[in-house]
Amino acid sequence: MVAVNIANAVEASGEARNAGDITVAHSSLTVDHSLKLPEMKPRIVELFNDLFNHWSNLDESHFTAAQLSGGITNRLLKVSVEEENGNTVLVTVRIYGPNTEYVINRDRELQAIVHLSAAGFGPKLLGTFENGMVQSFIHARTLNASDMRKPKLAAEIAKQLKSFHQVDIPGSKEPQLWNDIFKFLKKASYLTYDDRKKQNMYKKISFKEVETELIKLKELTGQLDAPVVFAHNDLLSGNLMLNDDEEKLYFIDFEYGSYSYRGFDIGNHFNEYAGLDCDYTLYPTKNEQYHFFRHYLNPEKPNEVSDIDLEALYVETTCYMLVSHLYWALWALIQAKMSEIDFDYLEYFFLRYNEYKRRKNECFSIAKSYLSQS
């Protein structure tokens, strides 16, 4: 099998979508997210025939598709295309979860992804369709939560995150975090569930209490003067890939990316040490956090970072870590209503919200003590 560079192997169809100043191939077709793989394959072939002129005449025998492990928002496939000249091309197809437009700004994602790709982050965007995208295939494995705390990998993630935060994405540089989270709150506050058990659990939630907590957090974090960067906002293990042979790390899936606060991106990443099971005994220790901060703040000379800078970033990250819990808790309520993926989103709300409540007094105390000294 001979793999070839997909960028040289395909030509865009006549229809295209503009992403910033870069045009990518676009198809008006959709792929049913709920189909089993054998039933989905003919639709994938039809999509590729429509999307790429180079493959427009290939029949189903030239294609194979396999399910890839992914997150709890989308469905991810690896598609192998055997060309008529014997070359084989591997690509990734990401099919958006149903109703994800309620929590994801797809236009914002599309604009960012081409610029991040140009800066060396993630796979190359090859084409889009009505409910997904086709990207180049990355020869790497997806990390698991325990990988992220390994000192060597943690240092590399920190270094790459610093570079990621320096990418310039055209458009407004206004931070979107609080706009997004209050939109989530509004949508989450007026849901009804057909399932009686879900509805009874939902009725236990005090959205007035959640709103009060958000207002207090916004006021507190506003005093920290955290730098605004283009943030990944979802740097969990499933969005990190590693080629072990080359020791090359990749960031993927930028659908929640936006201009936001540095501390939120790092604090959110630390929360993901707990995995989807939310085992927060795995949250990084202060020493582990400082190891990360050193390689983030000064990738070339991590041991030269001052104690003052370490403490400042520790406080900043600790506060925004709390915001991360409320962000994903509210997100989960919306997903519990909209998503067809087999995941207990409602339970996830309570896991995140309860951890917020467990940590908030300690974290507020740390922040207030720091601010009073400053």
Q: Are 319 and 367 in contact (CB under 8 A)?
A: yes
Average pLDDT on 241-245 reads 95
- Residue 72 confidence (pLDDT): 67
Inform me whether the pLDDT recorded for 102 exceeds 80.
no
Q: Are 14 and 56 in contact (CB under 8 A)?
A: no
- Residue 74 confidence (pLDDT): 83
Say how far apart CA 106 and CA 330 lie, in whole Å. Answer: 19
pTM of this prediction?
0.87
At CA 285, angle to CA 301 and CA 162, rounded to 5? 35
Inform me whether the pLDDT recorded for 23 exceeds 60.
yes
Task: Calculate the alpha carbon distances from 287 to 159, 161, 184, 284 in Å.
Answer: 17, 19, 34, 8
- Residue 315 confidence (pLDDT): 98
Inform me whether the pLDDT recorded for 29 exceeds 80.
yes
Half-sphere exposure at residue 281, Cβ-oriented, CA atoms within 13 angstroms:
0
Average pLDDT on 239-259 reads 94
The DSSP secondary structure of 167-178, one letter per residue, reads: ---SS-----HH
- Residue 34 confidence (pLDDT): 86
The DSSP secondary structure of 94-107, one letter per residue, reads: EEPPTTGGGT--HH
pLDDT tens for 297-356 read 999 999 999 999 999 999 999 999 999 999 999 999 999 998 878 899 999 999 999 999
Choose between 72 and 76: higher pLDDT: 76
Say how far apart CA 187 and CA 203 lie, in whole Å. Answer: 15
352 phi, psi to nearest 5 deg: -75, -45
